[in-house]
């Protein structure tokens, strides 16, 4: 032990290249193999094969590599004092009972002569030699010669140890605790009767060698000893070549026969052992071949020296400390026995039964969900996806089965895979469903998940499988752990790379959980999915707890094989059954409003297929002004201006807005998304902080008891003034208001304009006054436009503005900046506005392209004209200024404009 510690210290220090060749005990080769060079690269294969045999090869073949070669071998023999035996007419014992009786008889006879001798000298101390003595002694108590070493809890071992204690107590001398020095001292004088040690120890002529006794005649046992030679792997290549030459010479046939065998040592070369002509010339060779040899269990554990020490200490305590034999043998059993959860144990049978009954219960409730009475409660997913959700939870519950039986590398690698895929499968289904329920249903990721539900699920599973496959780069491996005196297997990661890859898997689960939490917060107030959101909230709560507990079992060291099995199995089972009960079974006991739910389904279907939309009452929509958006609405004398706000919404504000008004936004978005695109109606209202604004359908009060939704089906007009002789023909309709019954019809508001070609007496002021919405207080005249001091022009960067606005005042006008681009959106009101009361109602439910090419107000002014900014903010002065409108504002099939350049009637000089 001290020698090994010295070598390891040397190899780990700067002096690791000090020694080229290392000679060591054969039982220490495995411990030192990490410092030895592979001799297969330096010695010929034929030379190495001379030393390959089933008995000794495991002392120098480590993981298929030849790290050392034996210099010589030795085995235990019994040295008998032939002179004393002849004096008292006794023979060499062949059994342990004969040895006891003979020794006891001769000791008593010697005492009668007032002499004192050592009856039986053997090394049973706390040393490696003592372990060899215990091991070969127990081996000699097997029933048959061909039987292997008995199990430590077998009756043969108990009988052997009881017999050895009987020998120790009856002889009552100190010879049974002799070390190597005491044994050599016995063999150099004639004061010992029997001595057990290695076959190559020098002794005087009074001693003869024989095989060790056994329980029966013909049965014996002898441990193999010896020394190996290995090459230091830290030396230079040149020195390695020279060292290999030395090893080849020492292990050559000539050296083994001439030096090793002639000095009384036994060669391990097959050319000598299997060559009868050579072996019969050496007594030790014949004894070695006829001995019932056994190799010490150098591969019983990773640390043989520790195993050997604990093994011999327990037997020593029984012999010399009078401890209980069964307890000592149990302690030895725990040194090598790997404890695990046996499938046939009562606890595992109960667990298997519970999981089986739970699976049957889940399948039964799954089938009941398709009944006519219950199926409306499970409309969130179809039957196929509900089955996948249930299957994912079943995978999680089956995690406990992977811990039953003795662990191996396959089980260690499939355990996290099963749990990970089951978690992803069950939770990703809910996540995709939450994404589809997102209030702003026009988002690209929402539409993708809605159109490609299965593809989204498959992609998430593929990501999870990829992460688990990457873990195979540095996978889980079976290691032996110690809990007191008990050994058990555990699945551990050997390096930091494995922990990093495992961290990515945990991170993926965290991202899924965070996404679900955010979406639950956003969709909390959506009435259509109120129950589903509550169910998902409970599953998230359970997932967080289970996630923390499972992470703790991975990163916190849990001692004991039972705890390592029970804790993860219990956590996975409780997580799966809790989620299933709270998210699936709870639906059977929840009261759903069938009328409301059916109405919602009908509404969405009607909108999807262009059917007549039901009338929206004043209970569902809300005004845009209740929550933030990136659209400001200004009104001045009937002219409404829609412009960008000065401050963009933060992400948190956006989420809070969606949380507060998610139900209204969701309904509006769904109706818009599923409506007929040919109607040019867009009910989608964006509340994005970047480009789009979304609102719900607004209701405008006709009076205190009547609310009505008005949806405008024509594009916003930017017409302020139309030049003479340039007024296009506009398609008119009988009404501007579009009711729900004509939701898919395209209607255009009346434009009662008088063309100059029809009445040449019309002046520009007449034309202005002849525009639409010329009734009531909102009559558009030149004076009206002049009085709107706060009106400004602006250019929107967004490509579309969708909104439903109830304009109440004209107090939120923005000041005009010098560098602000000119773009004014004016919304008219016609004769029908009188039917809606004094409050002007603005309903913008259509896509309005606001790019530079589609909508632009251009102010053309003669070179001689000057804009009097102090008198008129817009520079409209009688007939000197006119506005031209981009033709794309109107229908391309019915509207065309001519260029106004060169028309003398349109350009008037200042007086």
Query: Tokens 């340039």 appear where?
Result: 726
pLDDT digits (tens, 9 = 90+) for 244-273: 999 999 999 999 999 999 999 999 998 898
The answer on 561 and 685 residing in a single domain is no
State the pLDDT confidence band at 17, using cuts at 50, 70 and 90.
confident
DSSP output for 763-820 = -HHHHHHTSSS-SGGG---HHHHHH-TT-------SS---EEE----S--PPPPPTTP
pLDDT of res. 741? 40
Higher pLDDT, 516 or 890: 516
CATH of the domain at 528: 1.20.1070.10
Q: In this structure, are residues 683 and 740 in contact, taking their beta carbons and an 8 Å threshold?
A: no
Three-state DSSP string of 727-769: CCCCCCCCCCCCCHHHCCCCCCCCCCCCCCCCCCCCCHHHHHH
pLDDT of residue 459: 92
Residues 6+ apart with CB under 8 A from 261: 267, 272, 278, 282, 284, 285
Q: Which helix (H) or strand (E) holds 166?
A: helix 155-171
**Domain check: are 586 and 684 in the same one?**
no
Q: Is residue 660 part of a domain?
A: no
In the block, residue with structure tokens 């003669």: 862
Q: Which tokens belong to 525? A: 């107030």
Q: Which residues are registered as beta bridge partners of 486?
A: 483
Looking at residues 687-709, what average pLDDT do you find? 35
From 217, 245, 265, the end of a domain falls on 217
Q: Sorting pLDDT into bands at 50, 70 and 90, what band is 592?
A: low
412 plus 531 within the same structural domain: yes
* Predicted pLDDT at 221: 94
CA 604, CA 600: separation in Å to the nearest integer? 6
The 8-class DSSP code of residue 173 comes to S
User: How many Å apart are CA 564 and CA 506, to the nearest integer?
Assistant: 20
Count of beta carbons in the 10 Å neighbourhood of residue 241:
10
User: C-alpha angle 714/715/721, rounded to 5°?
Assistant: 115
DSSP string, 17-39: TS-SEEEEEGGGHHHHGGGBPPG
Instruction: Answer yes or no: do 817 and 697 share one domain.
Output: yes
Quote the pLDDT of residue 567.
81
CB neighbourhood size of 164 (10 A): 23
Flag whether pLDDT at 767 surpasses 90: no
CA separation for the pair 875, 94 (Å, rounded):
131
CA 25, CA 267: separation in Å to the nearest integer?
Answer: 15
What average pLDDT does range 398-407 have in this prediction? 82
**Residue 871 pLDDT > 60, yes or no?**
no
Among 176-180, 259-263, 700-704, 761-765, the least confident range: 700-704
Query: 362 is written with which tokens?
Result: 């889940």
CA angle 711, 715, 719 (to 5 degrees): 125
**Binning pLDDT at 50, 70 and 90, where does residue 317 land?**
very high
Q: Judge if 584 and 679 occupy the same domain.
A: no
Buried/exposed 207-239: b ≥16 CB within 10 Å, e otherwise: beebbbbbbbeebbbbbbbbbbbbbbbbbeeee
> Domain for residue 520, yes or no?
yes
Gap between the Cα atoms of 637 and 627, Å rounded: 25
pLDDT tens digit sequence for 832-860: 333 333 333 333 333 333 333 333 333 33
Mean pLDDT of the chain: 72
In Å, how far from its chain's centre is CA 2?
46
- How is residue 776 written in tokens? 């009531």
Mean pLDDT of all residues in 587-608: 53
Question: Cα separation of 652 and 521, whole Å?
Answer: 11
With vertex at residue 220, the alpha carbon angle to CA 216 and CA 225, rounded to the nearest 5 degrees, is 165
Query: Is there a domain that residue 66 lies in?
Result: no
Quickly tell me which residue has 């000090």 as its tokens. 18
Give the range among 128-142, 546-560, 778-792 with minimum mean pLDDT: 778-792
Q: What is the 3-state secondary structure (H, E, C) of 508-564?
A: HHHHHHHHHHHHHHHCCCCHHHHHHHHHHHHHHHHHHHHHHHHHHHHHCCCCCHHHH
The model's confidence at residue 894, banded by pLDDT at 50, 70 and 90, is very low
Please enumerate in sequence order all residues whose Cβ is within 8 A of that of 661, keeping only pairs 6 or more positions apart, or say none.
439, 525, 622, 626, 627, 687, 696
**Last residue in a domain, options 591, 612, 640:** 591
Residue 817: the pLDDT is 39
792 has pLDDT over 60? no
- Look at residue 202 and give its three-state secondary structure: coil
Residue 281 located in a structural domain: no
How many residues in total does the chain contain? 911
712 and 579 share a domain? no
CB-count exposure of residue 251 (10 Å: 0-12, 13-18, 19+):
buried
Clarify whether residues 577 and 720 are in a common domain.
Answer: no
**Is residue 170 scored above 80 in pLDDT?**
yes
Question: How does strand 222-231 pair with strand 293-294?
Answer: parallel
Q: How many domains does the chain have?
A: 3
- Given this model, what pLDDT does residue 727 score? 41
Alpha-carbon dihedral sign for residues 858, 859, 864, 867: negative
Rounded-to-integer distance, Cα 81 and Cα 205, Å: 9
pLDDT for 731 beyond 80: no
**If pLDDT is split at 50, 70 and 90, which confidence band does 473 have?**
confident
Domain final residue pick, 197, 217, 237? 217
In a shared domain, residues 556 and 686: no
The per-residue pLDDT for range 605-636, each reduced to its tens digit, is 333 333 333 333 334 333 333 344 344 334 44
Q: How far apart are CA 76 and CA 89, in angstroms?
A: 26
Burial 538-547 (b: 16+ CB within 10 A, else e): ebbebbeebb
Joined together, the tokens standing for residue 687 give 């509340």
Extract the tokens encoding 224. 């193999």
- For 201, residues 6+ apart whose C-beta sits below 8 A from its C-beta are 79, 183, 184, 187
Q: ∠237-239-244 over CA atoms, to 5°?
A: 95
Per-residue pLDDT for 770 more than 70? no
Q: Do both 795 and 684 map to the same domain?
A: yes
- Domain that residue 195 falls in: 76-217
The answer on 563 and 439 residing in a single domain is: yes
Q: How does residue 556 score in pLDDT terms, banded at 50, 70 and 90?
A: low
CA distance 810 to 640: 8
> Same domain for 585 and 702?
no
Output the pLDDT for position 15.
77
The predicted structure's pLDDT at residue 820: 40
3-state helix, strand, coil in the chain (%, to 5): 45, 10, 40
Q: Which of 37-46, 229-238, 247-256, 564-573 shows the lowest mean pLDDT across its residues?
A: 564-573
339 or 831: which leads in pLDDT: 339
Decide: 386 and 409 in contact? Cβ < 8 Å. Answer: no
pLDDT at 100: 93
Please report the DSSP string for 409-432 in residue order: HHHHHHHHHHHHHHHHHHHHHHHH
> Quick check: is 477 in a domain?
yes
Rounded to two decimals, what is the model's pTM? Answer: 0.58
CATH number for the domain spanning 160: value is 3.40.190.10
Give percent of the chain with pLDDT exceeding 70. Answer: 66
Whether the per-residue pLDDT at 350 is higher than 80: the answer is yes
Please name the residues in contact with 205: beta carbons below 8 A apart, sequence gap of 6 or more. none
Q: Are residues 361 and 489 in the same domain?
A: yes
Residues 32-75: tens digit of each pLDDT = 999 999 999 999 999 999 998 877 888 888 888 999 999 999 99
pLDDT score of 215 more than 90: yes
CB atoms within 10 A of CB 199: 22
Q: Classify the C-alpha dihedral 192-193-194-198 as positive or negative.
A: positive
CA distance 214 to 294: 14
Confidence of residue 707 (pLDDT cuts 50, 70, 90): very low
190-199, 662-671, 800-809 — which is least confidently predicted? 800-809
Using 50, 70 and 90 to split pLDDT, how confident is the model at 766? Answer: low
Can you tell me which residue has the tokens 């970047």? Answer: 690
Bridge partners (DSSP) of residue 491 are 478
Residue 525: per-residue pLDDT: 82
In a domain, 653, yes or no: no
- Confidence (pLDDT) at 865: 44
What per-residue confidence (pLDDT) applies to 144? 92
Domain presence at residue 556: yes
pLDDT at 97 over 90: yes
Q: Give residue-wise pLDDT tens across range 417-435.
A: 888 889 889 889 888 888 8
Q: How confident is the model at residue 724 (pLDDT cuts 50, 70, 90)?
A: very low
**Using CA atoms, how far apart are residues 29 and 6, in angstroms rounded to an integer?**
15
- Inside any domain, residue 320: no
Helix (H, G, I), strand (E, B) or coil at 483: strand
Longest CA pairwise span in the chain (Å): 164
């Amino acid at each position: 032990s001290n020698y090994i510690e010295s070598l390891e210290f040397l190899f780990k220090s700067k002096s690791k290249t000090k020694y080229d060749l290392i000679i060591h005990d054969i039982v220490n080769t495995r411990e030192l193999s990490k410092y030895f060079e592979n001799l297969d690269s330096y010695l010929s294969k034929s030379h190495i094969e001379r030393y390959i045999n089933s008995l000794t090869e495991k002392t120098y073949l480590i993981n298929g590599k030849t790290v050392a070669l034996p210099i010589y071998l030795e085995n235990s023999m019994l040295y008998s004092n032939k002179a004393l035996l002849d004096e008292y007419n006794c023979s060499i014992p062949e059994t342990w009972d004969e040895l006891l009786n003979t020794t006891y008889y001769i000791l008593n006879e010697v005492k009668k002569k007032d002499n004192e001798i050592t009856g039986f000298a053997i090394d049973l101390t706390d040393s490696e030699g003592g372990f060899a003595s215990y091991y070969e002694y127990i081996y000699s108590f097997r029933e048959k010669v061909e039987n292997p070493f008995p199990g430590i809890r077998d009756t043969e071992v108990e009988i052997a140890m009881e017999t050895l204690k009987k020998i120790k107590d009856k002889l009552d001398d100190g010879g049974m605790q002799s070390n190597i020095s005491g044994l050599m001292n016995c063999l150099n004088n004639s004061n010992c009767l029997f001595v057990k040690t290695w076959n190559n120890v020098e002794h005087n002529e009074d001693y003869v060698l024989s095989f060790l006794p056994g329980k029966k005649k013909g049965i014996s046992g002898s441990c193999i000893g010896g020394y190996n030679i290995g090459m230091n792997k830290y030396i230079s290549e040149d020195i390695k070549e020279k060292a290999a030459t030395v090893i080849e010479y020492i292990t050559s046939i000539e050296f083994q026969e001439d030096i090793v065998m002639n000095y009384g040592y036994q060669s391990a070369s097959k050319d000598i052992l299997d060559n009868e002509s050579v072996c019969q010339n050496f007594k030790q060779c014949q004894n070695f071949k006829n001995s019932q040899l056994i190799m010490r269990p150098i591969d019983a554990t990773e640390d043989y020296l520790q195993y050997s020490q604990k093994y011999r200490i327990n037997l020593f305590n029984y012999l010399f400390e009078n401890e209980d034999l069964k307890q000592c043998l149990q302690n030895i059993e725990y040194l090598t026995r790997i404890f695990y959860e046996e499938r046939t144990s009562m606890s595992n049978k109960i667990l298997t039964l519970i999981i089986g009954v739970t699976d049957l219960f889940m399948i039964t409730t799954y089938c009941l969900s398709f009944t006519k009475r219950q199926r409306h409660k499970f409309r969130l997913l179809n039957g196929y996806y509900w089955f996948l959700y249930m299957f994912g939870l079943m995978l999680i519950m089956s995690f406990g089965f992977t811990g039953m039986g003795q662990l191996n590398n396959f089980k260690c690698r499939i355990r996290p895979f099963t749990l990970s895929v089951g978690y992803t499968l069950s939770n990703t289904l809910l996540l995709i469903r939450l994404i589809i329920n997102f209030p702003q249903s026009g988002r690209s990721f929402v539409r993708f998940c809605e159109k490609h539900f299965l593809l989204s699920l498959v992609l998430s599973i593929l990501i999870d499988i990829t992460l688990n496959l990457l873990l195979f780069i540095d996978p889980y491996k079976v290691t032996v752990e110690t809990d007191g005196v008990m050994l058990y297997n555990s699945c551990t990661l050997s390096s930091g790379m494995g922990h990093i890859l495992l961290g990515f898997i945990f991170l993926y689960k965290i991202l899924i959980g965070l996404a679900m939490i955010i979406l639950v917060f956003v969709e909390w107030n959506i009435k259509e999915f109120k129950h589903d959101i509550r169910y998902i909230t409970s599953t998230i709560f359970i997932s967080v707890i289970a996630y923390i507990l499972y992470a703790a079992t991975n990163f916190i060291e849990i001692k004991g094989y039972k705890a390592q099995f029970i804790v993860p199995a219990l956590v996975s089972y409780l997580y799966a059954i809790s989620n299933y009960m709270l998210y699936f079974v709870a639906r059977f006991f929840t009261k759903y409003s069938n009328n409301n739910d059916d109405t919602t389904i009908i509404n969405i279907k009607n909108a999807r297929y262009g059917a007549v939309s039901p009338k929206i009452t004043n209970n569902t929509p809300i005004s845009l002004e209740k929550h933030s958006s990136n659209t400001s609405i200004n009104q001045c004398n009937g002219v409404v201006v829609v412009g960008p706000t000065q401050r963009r919404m933060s992400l948190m504000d956006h989420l809070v807005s969606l949380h507060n008004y998610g139900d209204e936004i969701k309904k509006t978005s769904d109706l818009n998304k599923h409506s007929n695109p040919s109607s040019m109606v867009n009910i989608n209202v964006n509340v994005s902080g970047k480009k789009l604004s979304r609102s719900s359908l607004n209701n405008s009060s006709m009076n205190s008891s009547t609310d009505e939704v008005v949806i405008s089906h024509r594009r916003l007009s930017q017409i302020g003034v139309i030049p003479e002789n340039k007024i296009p023909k506009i398609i008119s309709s009988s009404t501007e208001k579009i009711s729900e019954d004509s939701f898919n019809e395209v209607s255009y508001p009346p434009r009662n304009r008088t063309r100059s070609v029809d009445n040449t007496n019309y002046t520009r002021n007449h034309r202005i006054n002849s525009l639409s919405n010329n009734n009531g207080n909102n009559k558009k005249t030149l004076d009206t436009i002049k009085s709107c001091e706060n009106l400004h022009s602006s250019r929107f960067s967004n490509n579309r503005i969708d909104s439903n606005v109830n304009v109440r005042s004209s107090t939120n006008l923005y000041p005009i900046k010098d560098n602000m681009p000119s773009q004014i959106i004016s919304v008219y009101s016609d004769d029908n506005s009188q039917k809606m009361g004094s409050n002007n109602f603005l309903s913008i439910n259509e896509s309005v392209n606001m790019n530079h090419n589609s909508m632009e107000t251009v102010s053309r002014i003669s070179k001689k004209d000057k804009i009097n900014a102090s008198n008129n903010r817009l520079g409209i002065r009688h007939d000197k200024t006119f506005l031209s409108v981009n033709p794309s504002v109107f229908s391309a099939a019915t509207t065309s404009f001519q260029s106004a350049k060169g028309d003398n009637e349109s350009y008037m000089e200042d007086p």
